[in-house]
Structure 1
């Protein structure tokens, strides 16, 4: 490729070993690499990370600490632009400093006259309207704005962004490939054996009622069918503990089946785990996105609108919520999908392929912008 490498800083919730966010980063890195190659430019990412040494080692990229002002400033100053995203960065449900941090990084880049790109973000909830002017200013002065669902686009429009074009694209993780093949492939050891149910669970209710209800569902499934249950923790270590809490609530019959907790950290290793399942029961958003990308039937347990927003794109409704969890209904839906897996795959194939094809649109836009700037 001709010309010097284009350095792009990537801002997000990276380096915290949250499998969903790490999958977003891996997806962005691979998409940029692919699109750069397609458009004849070399793109050199620099990731803002909570653990830059781990991020650099895991992905083979440059990384600097996201909270060290000097390193952050230097990285942006030396760059050709900044990507903010993806994930749910601009929301105030997890704290009042989340939005100011991410908007602050964007505005710093803009102050340094660097082009900024909003990459498939999920916006909201934004409970404090005092944040609206900050978001509006950052997005208005960005070279490209994309969000991962229509609900995020509508929220931005309510902030009066004016003529700013907002592109709705899938979550970047829909484009994440398996290491060697994108074809669903169960390990040889499982060929012809009992169905595998993947379970992604997190803590939510203080009384752990969602864990008790999920355990009841799994007990019902195991009473009806000889299955293997694999817990897939997406956020370490808390999801491991949540998985263990569910296992403690399982009946003797369910525990007599093959029950395991898969402890993997690399996004593509987790994607392989999901691809080896016959169905996924998921609370974590990216467990459902992984399942969709690998054409694995899913049973969504909603704790946040982002779960429902993703499922809606596949014309699916959540089977339960953390507030209203009918254990019998979840068990019945899981058994139905095990029996109708091929029909489900055929029904959802076109929608899934469309989302996968659209997942790289933001990377295409970033690469095109950098190429045109010379």
Structure 2
């Protein structure tokens, strides 16, 4: 009892263990960036509110996740480990990313809602962190989503379309907070220099065009159109096409497929593959060094916005259009159509008039960065005020 009355005891931050559920440990740069951004935001907001948030990540590769982020991790598919982690926690965060959708299969939604339901059965508060909801094509999934959302202490989604979908499922609109993707708040690596200042001066005269493509159509017609567009750009002016693989090894294979088909490039043009590794901040650094980014991957576009790099989006999913809309942009094309001449014209405009683009979109980007902090702020506050002693359950 004497220790609890020590005069320094009250200034010590409360410790709150929080399990984080998501698509982690799969070496997908976008999802890993979400996790790293969440960890940064939770640490920062917790510090400001006098709470030390200790994360426990559910990962398919716990050892790798621990090495990468310096946090405790348990295997996401080992039920006893998951139960033990949740039981000893002060709450569970689900997110971010596109977790509650059935486009990738019928087991995705049951898994993530199952983890949430398990935490709720163990009487732990649950928090939904900037998720992208949908598509949900199987109506029997609706009750699974509705049930866990209604019982969550805080619900945030990354776009208005996700909020509207939850509303149609039966989640009260007033309980849904619409916020940006967490990655809008991710900083560059410690000591890194943003943009052109980090580039070799000998190469700075040739614009760097970052390229983030993924395999989507089985007939690869979308990639063939991208080859045509990128080749036309590289023959119209000198550019360095720098391919950025966000999901290894699949994006590496896709990038190689495109590079092999570019053909002869114009004088001064080149194509190369970046190798930033698995650390999301190193990929963010690689994007910051681009003069323009052409992206299919959602998080490639978010990285570009984060670093105020002009971007051209190619849409394969509504989430691409939804994000671009928040920045005040539209996709140049889709997996069904891409006009090479229009692409070249837009790419040249953005390269030559970068400052105009920055001035036009600076306010929207700044607002997204500020709003990206809100879920961590809300969760830290709720954890700080939740002293029910749930660990005894």
Q: If the TM-score is normalised by the length of the shorter chain, which range does it land in? A: over 0.9
Do 1:184 and 1:295's aligned partners in 2 also have CA atoms closer than 8 Å?
no
Determine if the alignment matches structure 1 residue 53 to structure 2 residue 63: yes
1:345 equivalent in structure 2: 358
1:280 counterpart SS class: strand
1:96 equivalent in structure 2: 106
Offset of residue 256 of structure 1: 6.9
1:234 to 230, 246, 252: 246
2:172 equivalent in structure 1: 162
Q: Rg: which structure is higher?
A: 2
CA distance in 2, matches of 1:181, 1:256: 28
Alignment of 1:87-166 (within 5 A): 87-162=97-172, 165-166=175-176
The size of the alignment, in residue pairs, is 374
1:253 counterpart SS class: coil
2:271 counterpart SS class: strand
1:84 to 89, 94, 107: 94
Task: State the Cα deviation string for residues 2-48 of structure 1 (Å, max 9, x = none).
Answer: 25421000000000000000000000000001001111111100000
1:252 to 264, 276, 281: 264
Do 2:292 and 2:351's aligned partners in 1 also have CA atoms closer than 8 Å?
yes
1:323 counterpart SS class: coil
Query: Which structure 2 residue ranges, 5 or more long, are not aligned?
Result: 1-10, 388-393
Do 2:212 and 2:300's aligned partners in 1 also have CA atoms closer than 8 Å?
yes
CA distance in 2, matches of 1:276, 1:365: 33
TM-score (norm 1): 0.97
Determine if the alignment matches structure 1 residue 201 to structure 2 residue 248: no
1:73 counterpart SS class: helix
Task: State the Cα deviation string for residues 301-350 of structure 1 (Å, max 9, x = none).
Answer: 00000000000001110001001121221122111111111100111001
Task: State the Cα deviation string for residues 263-296 of structure 1 (Å, max 9, x = none).
Answer: 2210000000000000000000000000001000
Per the alignment, do residues 265 and 5 of structure 1 end up closer, same or farther by CA in structure 2, a change over 3 Å counting? Answer: same
**Higher mean C-alpha displacement, 329-338 vs 9-18:** 329-338
CA distance in 2, matches of 1:14, 1:106: 16
Per the alignment, do residues 338 and 163 of structure 1 end up closer, same or farther by CA in structure 2, a change over 3 Å counting? Answer: closer
After TM superposition, where is structure 1 displaced by more than 4 Å over at least 4 residues in a row?
none
1:304 equivalent in structure 2: 317
CA distance in 1, matches of 2:167, 2:123: 25
CA distance in 2, matches of 1:4, 1:326: 56
Do 1:247 and 1:255's aligned partners in 2 also have CA atoms closer than 8 Å?
no
Offset of residue 222 of structure 1: 1.1
1:117 counterpart SS class: strand
Offset of residue 373 of structure 1: 2.1
Do 1:140 and 1:164's aligned partners in 2 also have CA atoms closer than 8 Å?
no
**Higher mean C-alpha displacement, 207-216 vs 247-256:** 247-256
TM-score (norm 2): 0.93
Do 1:7 and 1:44's aligned partners in 2 also have CA atoms closer than 8 Å?
yes
CA distance in 2, matches of 1:89, 1:365: 21
Task: State the Cα deviation string for residues 66-107 of structure 1 (Å, max 9, x = none).
Answer: 000010000000000000000000000000000000000000
Determine if the alignment matches structure 1 residue 66 to structure 2 residue 76: yes
1:103 counterpart SS class: helix
Offset of residue 365 of structure 1: 0.6
CA distance in 1, matches of 2:153, 2:180: 19
2:185 equivalent in structure 1: 175
CA distance in 2, matches of 1:89, 1:36: 25
Do 1:288 and 1:300's aligned partners in 2 also have CA atoms closer than 8 Å?
yes
CA distance in 1, matches of 2:267, 2:147: 54
Give the CA RMSD over aligned residues.
Answer: 1.4
Per the alignment, do residues 114 and 164 of structure 1 end up closer, same or farther by CA in structure 2, a change over 3 Å counting? Answer: farther
Query: Which structure 1 residue ranges, 5 or more long, are not aligned?
Result: none
Determine if the alignment matches structure 1 residue 269 to structure 2 residue 289: no
Per the alignment, do residues 162 and 56 of structure 1 end up closer, same or farther by CA in structure 2, a change over 3 Å counting? Answer: same
CA distance in 2, matches of 1:182, 1:91: 37
Offset of residue 60 of structure 1: 0.4
1:37 equivalent in structure 2: 47
